[in-house]
Structure 1
Amino acid sequence: MIFILPLVAVLIGYLIAKFLKPSSSTSFKLLLSFSGAYLLSVTVFDLLPEVYEEGGKDIGVFILLGLLFQIILEFISKGLEHGHMHHDPNSKKFPILLLLSLGIHSFLEGFPLNESSHLLYGVAIHKIPVAAILSIFLFNSKLGKTKAILFLLLFALMTPLGSLLKLQFDFIEKYAAYINATVIGIFLHISTTILFEASKNHKFNASKLTVIILGILLAYLI
């Protein structure tokens, strides 16, 4: 499941982009808000207590390092991880830096997925709107269909690759708490940015507030 679900999430995102054209859709923005709330809640409810129990007070340093690292990645990706796409669609160059940024982010988020099914669902839900936005950009760009599909395939494979390496190499388990803490920092930055940006002029409308509360409750109850 940890290998299949992230791939399915990217496929769903691609299909949404292809058939529903969601770039300005209210329901799409609600899905993004829900994904941010669910991912944040799973991180706080599941991952955070576990890493502090395993790693002690130094864990906080790695959480902050993860948060800072995600900020650096977003200088390259232009914020696609939380629902934005600011790259030039007229460029014919393969966006290597964008792939590198998204690839590192996706690779790292694959490491803790075998420890929590709730987190697996959270990452999968988060990937759907990201994959949809990425698909819209790629297929509206001048890259060509083959390069666009190759990009999406590489992006889809990075999270399962991170999960696979975690399971295959025992020495990684020795540092698992610190790796997970770094991923927590990444998740905290992404999810809170989504929630803050979900409010226009710092005001939530009723529908967005409802899906955010629903995402928190669902993460707590499941």
Structure 2
Amino acid sequence: MIRVLLVDDQRLVRAGLRMLCESVDDLEVVGEAADGAAAVRLAEQLRPDVVLMDLRMPGVDGTTATARILASRPSARVVVLTTFDDDDHLYPALSAGACGFLVKDAAPAELLDGVRRAAAGDSPFTPAVLRRLVERAVLAATTPLVEPMTAAVPGLTGREREVLALVGEGLSNPEIAGRLGLAVTTVKTHVANLMIKTGSANRVQLAVYAARL
């Protein structure tokens, strides 16, 4: 059972997320928070596996709450729920340790899959959000999240190059698996190896690397 903490200052949003999570057997909503301070407190008390985190909240915002939660519970997985006008908040949230970003109007199946992937150690990104992050990073060479990349890393296999290109397009591991006819576990292994070989700390950096080749 995956234990989920919902964090959003809008009651209706939390209610909708609760109904969605409770519609399946493998997710359990263990708590709700309307602001970042309550999220930090409940994360310590309830020890959720995954935190669905809004960014714009009164008082302690989602980015600050993410950093505080992970400082005390580094095993927690924080997935940001974002709107498309949250661009200025995405990089700080990633720096704070968020493992993924999903848009609030994502299809229910996509959101549920994102929670499961986060709990399994993957980094769920809505493809459109990942593409925007990559585009901004490529244009802003001084971003602290992206180290300059001047040459391709030698030693990549042909399959790794295929996977890398699809990561750069914003595809998720299941989508890459479907495109290449591979098992999802095989894709996860390729992505993990690519992150090591390219020195990428997260999926965004890996996608930026792909975009710069």
TM-score by length of 1: 0.30
TM-score by length of 2: 0.31
Greater share of helix? 1
Kindly indicate whether structure 1 or structure 2 has the higher relative contact order, using CA contacts under 8 Å at least 6 residues apart.
1
Greater share of strand? 2
